[in-house]
Amino acid sequence: MSSEILPLTTLAKQLEYCEGSQFQLILKKLTSPAYIDEQLLKTELPLVATKIQKLLRSNQDYDIWKGCHASVVLCSYNPLALCVHGGQLLTVIYSRLEQKTEYHSASSEAFSEKIVLKSLTSALSILMDLMRGKPTLSRESLVPKLKAIIPCLVDLTALEPELCLPILKELLLKNSTTFRPYANKYRQVLSKLISQEYGNLDPNVQSLVCENYAYLHLIKLQAQNSQDEHQAHHKPFHDETWRIGILSILAQFKPILELCDEMLDLDHDQDLKKLIKSLQYDNLYPTDLPTSDKLLPGLKVDLNEPMTLWEIPQRLNLLIDLLSPFLSLPTPYAVRIPLGACISVFEGLLGMTRNFLPLRREIRRDAELVSVIYDVLSHVQFSGVRLLNVLVQNFGKCCLSMLPSILGSLEFFIPLQLKSKSIDIKRCKLMKSEFLQYFQLLNSIFPHIGYQLQELDFFQKLVEVALALSEDENLANLLTNEGPAKTQSNKAGKKQRKDNSVGALSDMYTHADQFILRTSLAWYDQINLFLSGLLSNLKLPSSQQVKIIRYGVQKSLGWKQQVGHIPESFVELLRAIVVNPGNERVSILPIAVSLLKGSSDELFDLLCHPRLPVNLIHNVKGLANSIEEQNQEELLSNEDLEEAADEPEEEESQEKEENVEIESNTKRQIPETESEPEPPKRQRLNTNVPLFQAQNTEILKVDNEPPVVLKEEKQVEVVQEQQPASAQEEASDSESEMVIPQIQLSDDDEE
């Protein structure tokens, strides 16, 4: 060992007397990898293990607490200590736990005893997890001690379920064969917790109780009567016991739904009545097995005492809690889930609605009973929503074949006003927490269905409910039952006493903004996710689209003003509104960009400044280069053709140029006196022609000029004027449109 490392002997001596921060430093030193050395097996590691065992056997609670933490740290960071001394430490820990369990009482326990029990159970669980999976260590040190550990934990479960249930759950899953002898005793403990103390437990403990009850079905149930000899040779499935547990729970929904027939007149819906009769599952398994219907007592419901009706939703919630682990927990083998039976139970629960089923005539006059029945039916339907939520989370796409019936049943959960098709918003506000899970369920359904949504009426109702429940509620505005002020005649000479009984009500009028129930961000997240999915999959009517746009802009602006930033769910909603405008031609892109200014949102940045991806730009450039090369090749080929076609034209032009040169030579041979004509005389206009009319003019030549010479001059001039003709034709249109008036002279003017 290096001289820089503190020897284990020094740590072992200080371990017994250290306290507080010194104990923390020692635990930190024990995590050093320098102590993983085989040379320490015979000298220093046994000394440390002996000191820890001495702490665990002490009568002082503080020493036991230190021994638990020291043993966990040593075995977790030093595999040599785990393999050599782990079994001894485990024996000392569970023996101390047995001693504490014998004298433990939930009513008389002190705070220190609670801490010690928690430390012992935690250390026991960690050491067992460290040993599990290592063949030699598990075979020699763990499995033989489980026969003493399991009954100790089972006895302690009745007093401290939150400490023992997680450990027993792991033992049931990974050591079910060793747990078999104690299964019946453990079932009795769980039955007592479920039937008598379930409502008093924390939600986490309730879920642990249900999970342990489900894992008990990994052990084969033993029938009370002997097995039939004719059926003994049949080999059962591995999941037979697990399936029996599911069917035994599903069979208990039928009597509860039949009990609802005493409140609602189910004769108005024959399909629902047939569905309830079909929920018969107790004939699919032996009746002498210790199933869930044996551990739950019967319901005590009396219509003369309306408050007893609340036992119906309580029992339904308990059955859903018991059924959920059977549908969601992992198992060592494949199991068969009766998915159709679960969907049928869900439809039966959602069918108990007051929207389309009237109450029995004999109970309509009792206002208290009617009020309780309406509240109870809402919770009965909500238990069906919870069941479907478990099914969708674990078997999402498997439920798509039954999607039409599922959506039709979910519509029954929205309360309607009596004798009307409009939504009862007041009752929806009383069920806001239930609607939160309702929209969570819809959000888990949307990713599996995509564009298969075609029914718009149901989703229009959902949009109305979602937007109504998203508004903050001002409680001061509910104060509408004020009566007129009573005027009292004051007698002379008598003083009025000041009434201070209503003095505090002034705050409700002057500071009404202090009595507002704010909507939580969790609610907004679910609603925004629902609306985004709805816009992506459906084209809503213009009225609904405008409501969603107004909601998204107003709430985003409010959050930005109050908090300084917009939550991510509202950003996603704004994106969905911009990308899916529906039937609206007006886009809120400028508003969304101004709200998200400075957040550098990629989608809005791309919409405002559209551009191609880099890879696509490279491909376009390569395509452009190839097109240019093809064009150049075509131009070269066209030039060759033009050169071949221009060869005869060049020959003709050369011949014309030769003729012009010959004629110019003949002109040069004429004498200068004869070739220069006299200047023409001044031309006069014809007075008989109006000024605005063009006049023809002709230039007259001298008579004494030789006619031959004049003829030759005219030919030469014609040839000379033909050469610049092409240039004059290419002049602008304004020059070609000019008209030169021609003046015709008479014989008298020539003289």
In a 3-state reduction of DSSP, which class is residue 517? Answer: strand
| Confidence bin at 722 (pLDDT 50/70/90) | very low
In a 3-state reduction of DSSP, which class is residue 734? Answer: helix
Residue type, 499: D
CA–CA–CA angle 493, 494, 497 (5° rounding):
150
Q: Rounded to an integer, what distance in angstroms lies between the CA atom of residue 530 and that of residue 522? A: 13
**pTM of the model as a whole:** 0.76
Count how many Cα atoms sit within 13 Å of the Cα of residue 586 in the half-sphere of its side chain. Answer: 7
pLDDT of residue 513: 78
Sign of CA dihedral 376, 378, 384, 387: negative
Cα–Cα nearest to 90, from 47, 138, 135: 138
Cβ 74 vs Cβ 30: under 8 Å: yes
pLDDT of residue 73: 94
Cβ 59 vs Cβ 112: under 8 Å: no
| Per-residue pLDDT at 576 exceeds 50 | yes
Start-to-end CA span in the chain (Å): 146
Beta-bridged to residue 319, according to DSSP, are none
Q: What DSSP letter does each residue of 365-409 carry, written as one string? A: T-HHHHHHHHHHHHHHHHHHHHHHHHHHHHSTGGGGGGHHHHHHH
Cα–Cα nearest to 12, from 55, 60, 59: 55
Over pLDDT 70: what percentage of the chain? Answer: 74
Backbone angles phi, psi at 359, to 5 degrees: -75, 165
| Confidence bin at 650 (pLDDT 50/70/90) | low
Query: Could you say which DSSP state residue 145 is in?
Result: H
| Confidence bin at 510 (pLDDT 50/70/90) | confident
In a 3-state reduction of DSSP, which class is residue 183? Answer: helix
Structure tokens at 609: 């400044």
Token look-up 């200047």 returns 679
Q: How many other β-carbons are positioned within 10 Å of the β-carbon of residue 151?
A: 16
| Confidence bin at 717 (pLDDT 50/70/90) | very low
Backbone angles phi, psi at 292, to 5 degrees: -70, -25
Q: What DSSP letter does each residue of 570-615 carry, written as one string? A: HHHHHHHHHH--TT-----HHHHHHHTTTS--HHHHHHHS----HH
Q: Rounded to an integer, what distance in angstroms lies between the CA atom of residue 572 and that of residue 596? A: 12
| Per-residue pLDDT at 291 exceeds 60 | yes
Token look-up 């949307």 returns 446
Q: What is the pLDDT of residues 378-434, one digit of tens each?
A: 999 999 999 999 999 999 888 888 888 898 999 999 999 988 889 999 999 999 999
Q: Rounded to an integer, what distance in angstroms lies between the CA atom of residue 184 and that of residue 216? A: 9
| Per-residue pLDDT at 527 exceeds 90 | yes
Beta-bridged to residue 194, according to DSSP, are none
Instruction: Give every CB contact of residue 132 below 8 A, 6+ residues apart in sequence.
Output: 138, 142, 174
CB-count burial class (<10 Å; 0-12, 13-18, 19+) for 119: buried
Cβ 183 vs Cβ 216: under 8 Å: yes
Mean pLDDT across the chain: 80
Q: Rounded to an integer, what distance in angstroms lies between the CA atom of residue 404 and that of residue 455? A: 10
Q: What is the pLDDT of residues 479-494, one digit of tens each?
A: 754 444 444 444 444 5
Higher pLDDT, 707 or 455: 455
Count how many Cα atoms sit within 13 Å of the Cα of residue 103 in the half-sphere of its side chain. Answer: 6
Which CATH code fits 8-221?
1.25.10
- Helices 542-562, 521-537: inter-axial angle, 10-degree rounding: 150
Cβ 429 vs Cβ 404: under 8 Å: no
pLDDT of residue 230: 52
Domain ranges of the chain: 8-221, 238-413, 618-750
Beta-bridged to residue 416, according to DSSP, are 423
Higher pLDDT, 530 or 608: 530
Instruction: Give every CB contact of residue 245 below 8 A, 6+ residues apart in sequence.
Output: 214, 217, 291, 292, 326
Q: How many other β-carbons are positioned within 10 Å of the β-carbon of residue 53?
A: 18
Beta-bridged to residue 517, according to DSSP, are 473
Q: What DSSP letter does each residue of 1-61 carry, written as one string? A: --TTSPPHHHHHHHHTT--THHHHHHHHHHT-GGG--GGGTTTTHHHHHHHHHHHHT-S-H
Higher pLDDT, 509 or 368: 368
Helices (H) and strands (E) in the chain, counts: 35, 2
